[in-house]
Copies of this chain bind each other. A is one copy, B any other.
């Protein structure tokens, strides 16, 4: 069988495989960068797919819940999504601020912080979000000026 598609994930979770859902899955699979809900709407229109706005949002919600997508807030403040491939392991994404491409980064070092935080602050850390932004190798190679490191982050 094909590796493991978003459609498979929806299927495995017991959702019905409808035309709109297959199409949303296809649109996402064809992207290698982050995207917003409206990006997908535009993609769909461009390909002549008729998918309702609400359906796109509902699909994104389900796929996020299934761990197939991660919601990220871009530095610009936009709400975007990136596909998790593979979706199971704990990881983070680095998003290129220039072209939008993203890759996953395994080996999260945050875990080791939580004990330390508990000890120092008394807070029991349950979850965390990490969003990394920078410049991808392609954009670096193309001579574009890298995004300058920001002085005060997070």
Contact = CB atoms under 8 A, between A and B. Distances in A.
Interface of A is mostly: mixed
Contacts of A109: 109-110, 112-113
Interface residues of A, number: 53
A57 to B, nearest CB: 12
A127 B146 CA distance: 11
A75 B140 CA distance: 33
Contacts of A15: none
A85 B152 CA distance: 13
B92 A154 contact: yes
Given A91-B154, A110-B132, A128-B154, 4 more contacts: A105-B117, A126-B148, A126-B149, A127-B154
